[in-house]
């Protein structure tokens, strides 16, 4: 399946991917409204910086997702057709088991909602918003 891959050698640490993610998952999908009027949710990727190195980490949509195996409510599911791992917010109870299980650390707690939040590969788009927004081609959406 196609996933988002990061290239740490060309990432400039601008975090435009995070902004694009927040806007894409906002109600209005408008940057000004998303940041000024809506309750701001965390971005679904994680930009990490370590000295000169930076890179964006995205859900790996694992073949055997530990987050699905530990989920106590059935909120975390892997779609057998698309391979995508998604969280159904209506079913999530905020036990954080998936946060404990994900070896990439890419599942975030949205403590306002009491639910987790994670990359869904932007189901409404052909190219995920973070990849579109990256100015230096540090994010690739491809099948490997």
Partner 1 sequence: MKYVIIGNGVAAIGAVEGIRQTDRQNPITIIAAEPYATYGRPLIANLLRGKIHEADLAYRPETFYRDNKVTLLLGRTAEKIDVAARRALLEDGGKVPYDKLLIATGGKPFIPPIQGKDGPDVYTFTTLDDAGKLDALVGKIKQIVLIGGGLIGLKAAESLNDRGLKVTVVELADRILSTAFDQTAGNIIGNRLAEAGIEVITENSVKEIVRKNDRVKGIKLNDGQKRSCEAVVIAIGVIPDKDIVKGTGIATNRGIVVNDYLETSVAGIYAAGDVAEALDLLSGERRVVPIWPNAYTQGQYAGRNMAGARMAYKGGLPMNSIEFYGIPTMSMGMANPAGAGYEVITRLSPEKNVYRKLVLRDGILVGAMLIGEVERAGILTGLIRNRVKVSSFKEELMKDTLSLSSLPGEIRAERLSK
Chain residues in the site for partner 1 (CB under 8 A): 5-6, 8, 46, 48-50, 53, 55, 57, 60, 62, 66-67, 69-70, 72-74, 90-91, 93-105, 107-109
| Nearer Cβ to partner 1 (31/93) | 93
| Nearer Cβ to partner 1 (35/104) | 104
CA distance 30 to 39: 13
- CB 84 → partner 1: shortest distance, Å? 15
Give residue for tokens 């306002």. Answer: 112
- CB 87 → partner 1: shortest distance, Å? 14
- Per DSSP, 22 falls in state H
Q: Is 130 within 8 Å of 19 (Cβ atoms)?
A: no
**CA torsion angle for 5, 34, 123, 70 (degrees, to 10)?**
70
Half-sphere exposure of 103 (CA within 13 A, CB side): 6
- CB 127 → partner 1: shortest distance, Å? 20
- CB 37 → partner 1: shortest distance, Å? 27
């Amino acid at each position: 399946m196609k996933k988002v891959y990061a290239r740490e050698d060309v990432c400039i640490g601008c975090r435009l991917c995070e902004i694009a993610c927040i806007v894409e998952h906002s109600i209005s999908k408008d940057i000004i409204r998303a940041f000024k009027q809506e309750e701001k949710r965390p971005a679904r990727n994680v930009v990490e910086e370590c000295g000169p190195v930076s890179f964006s980490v995205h859900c790996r949509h694992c073949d055997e997702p530990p987050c699905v195996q530990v989920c106590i409510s059935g909120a975390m599911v892997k779609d057998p057709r698309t391979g995508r791992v998604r969280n159904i917010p209506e079913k999530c109870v905020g036990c954080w088991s998936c946060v404990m299980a994900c070896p990439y650390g890419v599942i975030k707690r949205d403590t306002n909602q009491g639910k987790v939040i994670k990359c869904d590969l932007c189901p409404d788009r052909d190219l995920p918003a973070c990849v579109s927004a990256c100015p230096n081609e540090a994010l690739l959406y491809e099948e490997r």
